[in-house]
Homo-oligomer: A and B are copies of this chain.
Amino acid sequence: MAKNLTSREEDYSKWYNELVVKADLAENSAVRGCMVIKPYGYAIWEKMQAELDRMFKETGHQNAYFPLFIPKSFLSKEADHVEGFAKECAVVTHYRLKNDENGGGVVVDPDAKLEEELIVRPTSETIIWDTYRKWVQSYRDLPILVNQWANVVRWEMRTRLFLRTAEFLWQEGHTAHETKEEAVKEAEQMMNVYADFAENFMGVPVIKGTKTDSERFAGALETYCIEALMQDGKALQAGTSHFLGQNFAKAFDVKFATRQGKQEHVWATSWGVSTRLMGALIMTHSDDNGLVLPPKLAPIQVVIVPIYKGQEQLDAISQRVEPFIKEMRAKGISVKFDDRDTQKPGWKFNEYELKGVPLRLAIGMRDMENNTFEVARRDTLTKESVSMDGIVDRLEELLNQMQENIYQKALDYRDAHITEVDTFEEFKTLLETKGGFLSAHWDGTEETEAKIKELTKASIRCIALDAKEENGSCIYSGKPSKRRVLFAKAY
């Protein structure tokens, strides 16, 4: 398999697009903006799902399922929300097709017009809060800690596989609480769950912070986020968790009898991550040879490629590797023995490199004699000859090291690309030369934020939770500022 992959330096964007397709992760479909997630890509997503689902349940959440469709009028009930989401969406207006009387094939039946149009959910706050009204009477019914795995649709004009698609897969948590404090704590907790997942499972270092007013979720009082940095110096928002105050409870009239017997509106949060994480994963670790996967997310962690001539040699190798395969499986290592005779070893090496399989073991006649495997690491592209004695323990160690190494590499890059800047000239120069996060003072106004974005395409990614108080002056307006915020160009 010839890779023919554009290099990152040549054209980062093209490299990404090619990689997604060539590594069999996803492809465009016949429906504009909608992707097909191919089996290999979906297997990675399933691993993400399984781990996130485990983390959600460990923090007391349950899954449920709410309708795909939202009555149009629901979107208008929360004023900010409709501004944010009603604009670009898929609208169902009819519920039947019929055969054209003039032989024009199948056409929409004009008699089957819906009284009220239905919107394909861009996010489910409205339909869920309409449901919660029925679930909540008293403080005894709280908290509600529910998550949904679902598809959502936002009619994006410019789409890119995983990063921005009209339809995407995600999870959306929607919780209801007795007090403001509890809801804020929940929103913070889920941001921490996301950060933990991104760093320790995906190997993607993130900065935790809050969004500015203008970048906040439509309908939220506070949006917590985790921000990652891609290898081209652009930031990517990897997950958000919103404190929604009582906005949706008020819009959908969800009240509860308090412990004191009063009627009060319920406090809400919502939080989500999506198949966009696949984009973050790919762009954080991969190289010019293809995908690099952290072992915890690799559908195949170890591939064994036999190098042989004729059935007899293959049989001998197969027999020799069998106990090692069993031992690996018993340890929970996912292993594939690729004995296809339709492809040459070199082709297979290329393919597994492209697909980011962490460890590749080759075994030929000489290895058989020497009692060794040739072990190749995908992250460092190094090879070594390893004795068969105790090799499974060694592979396990290597996988752990690789998980750590991949994270550390991304962290070093990220940390080297957070730069404090104090003048707007420096800001503009660094943005174009070095990229990354620019830590700068900002006067706190939407006007300045918008102006900077207009002039540089950089937005405020977040106000980092660990930003220290520090007097300074806004890089653009010169007005006083109490702390630095993180700017970057972003996906």
Closest to A95 in B: B155
Residues A95 and B106 in contact, CB atoms below 8 Å apart: no
A 52-73 binary contact with B (CB < 8 Å = 1; else 0): 0000000000111111111111
Q: Which of A27-35, A184-192, A283-291 contacts B (4 or more CB under 8 A)?
A: A27-35
Given the complex of chains A and B, what is the CA–CA distance between A232 and B28 in angstroms? 48
The residues in A between 65 and 102 inclusive whose CB is less than 8 angstroms from any CB of B are 65-76, 82, 86-98
Residues B95 and A92 in contact, CB atoms below 8 Å apart: no
A 36-63 binary contact with B (CB < 8 Å = 1; else 0): 1111001101100000000000000011
Closest to A75 in B: B106
Given the complex of chains A and B, what is the CA–CA distance between A44 and B181 in angstroms? 33
A 1-43 binary contact with B (CB < 8 Å = 1; else 0): 0000000000000000000000000010111001111110011
Closest to A133 in B: B30
Given the complex of chains A and B, what is the CA–CA distance between A27 and B130 in angstroms? 13
Q: Closest approach, in angstroms, between the C-beta of A172 and any C-beta of chain B?
A: 14
Contacts of A70 in B (CB 8 A): 31
Given the complex of chains A and B, what is the CA–CA distance between A34 and B35 in angstroms? 25
Residues B97 and A167 in contact, CB atoms below 8 Å apart: no
- In the complex, the count of this chain's copies comes to 2
Determine if A117 is an interface residue (Cβ-Cβ < 8 Å).
Answer: yes
Given the complex of chains A and B, what is the CA–CA distance between A167 and B118 in angstroms? 13
Q: Closest approach, in angstroms, between the C-beta of A98 and any C-beta of chain B?
A: 8
A 96-114 binary contact with B (CB < 8 Å = 1; else 0): 1110000001101000000
Closest to A115 in B: B32
Q: Closest approach, in angstroms, between the C-beta of A404 and any C-beta of chain B?
A: 29
Given A30-B131, A86-B106, 15 more pairs with CB closer than 8 A: A27-B131, A29-B67, A29-B127, A30-B127, A30-B130, A34-B67, A42-B65, A43-B63, A75-B97, A76-B106, A87-B97, A90-B95, A90-B118, A91-B97, A97-B119
Q: Closest approach, in angstroms, between the C-beta of A218 and any C-beta of chain B?
A: 13
Residues B105 and A76 in contact, CB atoms below 8 Å apart: yes
State which of B31, B34, B91, B130 has its C-beta within 8 Å of the C-beta of A94.
Answer: B91
State which of B37, B62, B146 has its C-beta within 8 Å of the C-beta of A65.
Answer: B37
Contacts of A71 in B (CB 8 A): 30-31
Q: Closest approach, in angstroms, between the C-beta of A312 and any C-beta of chain B?
A: 24
Contacts of A86 in B (CB 8 A): 97, 106
